Amino acid sequence: MVEKRFIDIIEPILRLVPTVPRPSTPLSVSSRLFWTFLAITIYLLMSITPLYGVDLLKVSTMYNPLVAMIFASTGGTLMQLGIAPLIISGIVLEILVFSGVLNIDLSDPHDQARFNGLYKLLALFIAFGETLVIIASGQLGPLTPISALLVIIQLQFATLMIILLDDMITKGWGIGSGISLFILVSILRTIFWYTFSPIYPTGHELPLGIIPALTVAIYHASLGSLDHLTSLIYSFERPATLVGFISTIVLAIVILYIEMARVSIPLVITQYRGFKYTLPLRLMYVSVLPIIFTAFTLSLIHQVLLALWTSVGINNPSLHWLVCMKEIKPGTWAPCENSLMYFLWSPAPPNITPQFVIAHILIYIALATVFAYIWVNIAGMSAEDQAKYIVQGGLHIPGFRPSVKIIAKYLEKYISALTITSGVLAGLIAAVGDLLHVFSGGIGLILLVEIVLQYYALAMREQVFEIYPMLKRFIERE
């Protein structure tokens, strides 16, 4: 008797999970753009719709804004959780499948459909757990039992909507991936806000956006006052500065150059009489997931230390070496320079020192490199995995037998070097971006460039397929 797999046991439950059917016929690019913009519109409306039963004035702001941007979340709204449940669910299941813990054959369409159902179901469970933690920790302010229940229902509904929007886009109604799309919109919104917002923050004499602020500062400078212009150059009191604006442009160009760099591995296609082919491996072999893990880890440490400080650290001097906060001016708090919390603070605190700069860069590089190494080995990107793909595709490296073990040994030196290099570069860019007040942060800028490149490649591919439909049929048949 064949032992039933876990996915077989829960299949009746997975059939109840809502799904979006694929279009009966391939849609034109214009139609797919329409559905993509519709998904963006729904996401933006949800991100400005406050949660019923929650007082927005009492919603906690003690979270890392970079993590909120990466997860496309907005506090106190239907997008309180953002796409975090989907990302966490996808990562957990991918690790379980590639490690062999979860027995699923992703090459089997039936198993793939059940995997997608499990992915959605797990995302809903994660959303439920996250909601309970948020309510219990008081991040939404004091709630009555009825209000708490309403918040749970609203956030479950919002998560289901995001799941279905992602499903709709991924299955051919839109372009690309819903998760990538929402991250892109979240980052672009932040950059646009810091560049063009005419709103004056409370207690400030200049608009938030760098362009309106620069216009006002130049006007004051023409009247003989340079104070406004000086404060725009670099200030921890402003999220948008001239240094940050220029650094955003320069760093984006640097990231684009690095993202386009490739290391080519020569291959031969056996079934086509030795036709030569190259396998392009990106210099940034892996960057998105490790840098998200890095940001999330630092944010988690930040939240734990902050909770420790507010609960027992204030009145316990023996813990001040670990966690300590001080008021550097009325209403502005920063970590003490002699505490561990100071060196783990992200993004950069107002009381920055050379020691913090060095520690900040080293911590980002170390975490990004470690997560890059772990992700490569559990996500099917190791030298052995690449060797299997090469052999299964009827390819081999000139001068080597078409053996997985031999090809893996040859690729190991390249992939190991690229893994470490991509981790170091991603960590360095993220840290430097924080220190220079880059709009959306170094992490956001890396994600922005990567996603834009993905969408550019998809747009070019769709355009070619629309002009030459026979080419699409040939590739799908192959």
196-211 pLDDT tens trace: 988 888 777 888 888 9
Q: Which of 171, 194, 217 is the last residue of a domain?
A: 194
Domain contains 461: yes
**Alpha carbons 362 and 366: distance in angstroms, whole number:** 6
> What CATH number did the domain enclosing 348 receive?
1.10.3370.10
Domain contains 231: no
Query: What percentage of the chain reaches a pLDDT higher than 90?
Result: 25
Domain contains 254: no
Q: Which of 162, 194, 226 is the last residue of a domain?
A: 194
Domain contains 121: yes
Mean pLDDT value across the chain: 83
Question: Helices 145-168 and 109-136, interaxial angle, to 10°?
Answer: 150
Domain contains 148: yes
Range name among 244-248, 294-298, 391-395, 446-450 with the lowest pLDDT average:
391-395
Do 442 and 321 lie in one domain? The reply is yes
Query: Each residue of 163-177: pLDDT tens digit?
Result: 999 999 998 898 888
Do 383 and 472 lie in one domain? The reply is yes
Domain contains 170: yes
**Alpha carbons 169 and 201: distance in angstroms, whole number:** 37
Which residues lie closer than 8 Å to 50 by C-beta, 6 or more apart? 56, 76, 77
Please report which confidence band the pLDDT of residue 303 belongs to, taking 50, 70 and 90 as the band edges: confident
Do 65 and 165 lie in one domain? The reply is yes
Contacts of 297-301 with CB under 8 Å at 24 or more apart are: 297/367, 298/64, 298/344, 298/346, 298/363, 298/367, 299/63, 299/64, 299/66, 299/67, 299/346, 301/344
**Alpha carbons 231 and 248: distance in angstroms, whole number:** 18
Q: What residue numbers bound the domain in which 389 lies?
A: 263-478
pLDDT at 266 over 80: no
Domain contains 207: no
Do 187 and 284 lie in one domain? The reply is no
Total of domains in the chain: 2
Q: Which of 194, 218, 244 is the last residue of a domain?
A: 194
Please report which confidence band the pLDDT of residue 1 belongs to, taking 50, 70 and 90 as the band edges: very low
Do 190 and 286 lie in one domain? The reply is no
pLDDT of residue 292: 82
Q: In a 3-state reduction of DSSP, which class is residue 329?
A: strand
Write down the pTM of the prediction. 0.85
* Closest by CA position to 298, among listed 338, 251, 348, 336: 348
If one counts every other C-beta atom within 10 angstroms of the C-beta of residue 87, the result is 20
Higher per-residue confidence, 318 vs 85: 85
Do 185 and 270 lie in one domain? The reply is no
* Closest by CA position to 20, among listed 155, 216, 166: 166
Q: Which residues of 20-42 are buried (b: 16+ CB within 10 A; e: fewer)?
A: beeeeeebeeeebeebbeebbee
Say if residues 343 and 298 touch (Cβ distance below 8 Å).
no
Say if residues 340 and 322 touch (Cβ distance below 8 Å).
yes
